[in-house]
Amino acid sequence: MWHLLCYVLWITVSANNVGGTEVEDLGRFKYDVLAAISSLSNNLNSVSIKVDRLDEKLNNVGKKVIQLDEKIENLSSFSKKIESSNTEVNMKMNKLDEKLEATSSLSNNLNSATMKMNNLDEKIEIMSGMLVSIEMAADASNEKDSIILPKVNTIANGIDAITGSIDSFGNELEELKISISLFEKEMENRTINDSEIINDNINSLHTEFKESFENLSQIENYQEENIINYFSNVSADILSISNKMDKLGIVINETANQHESRIINIEFNISSLGDTINNIIPSIGSVDQHVSAVNTKLNNMISAFLNIINIIKSIKSDMASNSDKFQSLEQISKVIADGFTEMRYNLSSVDGNITKVLDITGNLSNNLANTSAMIEEVLQQTAPYLSLKWLTVGHDMFVMFNQTMHWPDARALCKRYKLDLYQPIGILMVANYLDDNFSSIRYWAGSRGNGTHQVYPGSGDVLPTRFGSPWQGTAHTEVGTNDCPYLFLDSDWHNSKKTKVLNTYTDSCNRDGVYVLCG
């Protein structure tokens, strides 16, 4: 620009020193130069305006970059939230694995208990063999000693009682092992399914974050409108990820809480069962010790008895061949009497050992009975989850027993499984509430909670009779709870709507022949 002005001044000075024609040419040239300068000035103004606009756009881009930094910072914090959630997921899964290992250990303990019961069976077989030997010896002498036989019968009866208890205990152990096996399979399947759901959600989150950060790397190539659209999409992605994280947390908590409560409940009962079995084992060892003592005494007694028989046989032989030995019969009789005295002494000692054995076997029978009760309680805990046909309706669960019975028996059956009783008789539940095979069956309205507290209609409650009510009430329609059925009686007007008022109807407590529905 400075060079151009100097050139114009030089032309002006030179023009004052030349002639006419040259002056005209220089004048035109000067005019052209001034026109060029004016055009250049206009162009400079236009450039200045464009520079100002460019500065404004740069400022806008700067603001967008700041917003982008904020979004990236939010994504970073959200990524940390996902890492924290992943840690929590891993902790929950590890806790479930520990519970499964504990269940497996309990199953091994039951197998050990089964082996110990088999050892007890072997001991009982030995005792049975001893009794057979005693009976054979008694038959050989053609005599039934009045002291031996009652004790033999007592031992035999005790062995039969123990055998029966052990058979029953063994059957219950097998049922318990089957229930635990089914529960372990259910836990394994449930854990696998939950793990797949959790992994799918986590993989989906990782994929979305990967795509989001890949999009961030391309932000420099985006125009202003595309940048705005991008941030809108990122916000939507963040909201979607947040919702999925919430759902993932709900699945994790529900799975962990449900499995943990059920495992703790069964684990407690099986632990108590293990304690009872451990208490039985010393008794089995004590029985083994006393049976061994009885075995020794009985063997000595049998030997003495056989010696007496041999002496008698020898006497008969001597009397037949040597009549001159009759004078020694008195001595021989004394020997025989001494043999019987020793034999009776052994019997009295055996009597004490047998008494101890009977006491121990009695305690063993009591322990087996207690163990049977423990197994029954465990089966009650696991049965509703493993062996019954459940119907889920909303947040409620029902199971139906295809049998009819008296009201108190039905209530006891439901309480056995720690459930509440619902009885069908005169109320038709709306078909869209209970579906499948339950839609055409009539039920009592049952109580919820502890088996006595009533939430459904009770004495004095007012129900609308118009169509569409959850209970389609008609005259003399019966409703029941865990305590006793109720009966719709007098009609009444309440808030301008015809209603039925419930009054206590105790006679229906004796009704039988109704289906049982627990829930």
Task: Say yes or no to pLDDT of 436 above 50.
Answer: no
Instruction: Band the pLDDT of 91: cuts 50, 70, 90.
Output: confident
Nearest to 170 by CA among 15, 330, 321, 375: 375
DSSP state of 221: G
Residue with tokens 């063999």: 129
Average pLDDT over residues 175-193: 66
Mean pLDDT, all residues of the chain: 57
Task: Say yes or no to pLDDT of 418 above 60.
Answer: yes
Distance of alpha carbon 211 from the chain centroid:
38
Task: Say yes or no to pLDDT of 195 above 60.
Answer: yes
Instruction: Band the pLDDT of 415: cuts 50, 70, 90.
Output: confident
pLDDT at 292: 67
DSSP state of 426: S
Task: Say yes or no to pLDDT of 26 above 50.
Answer: yes
- For strands 421-422 and 462-464, give the pairing: unpaired
Query: 147: helix, coil or strand?
Result: coil
pLDDT digits (tens, 9 = 90+) for 345-379: 666 666 666 666 666 666 666 666 666 666 666 65
Is the entire prediction scored with pTM above 0.75?
no
Residue 181 structure tokens: 């096996």
**Selection from 21-30, 288-297, 463-472, 487-496 with the highest mean pLDDT:** 288-297
pLDDT at 412: 72
Name the least confident of 19-33, 181-195, 298-312. 19-33
pLDDT at 170: 65
Task: Say yes or no to pLDDT of 36 above 50.
Answer: yes
Looking at the chain, the whole-number percentage of residues with pLDDT higher than 90 is: 0
pLDDT digits (tens, 9 = 90+) for 129-179: 665 666 565 555 545 555 556 666 666 666 666 666 666 666 666 666 666
Instruction: Report long-range pairs for 381-385 (Cβ below 8 Å, ≥24 apart).
Output: 381/265, 381/266, 381/269, 382/179, 382/180, 382/182, 382/183, 382/266, 383/179, 383/417, 384/417, 384/418, 384/419, 385/183, 385/186, 385/262
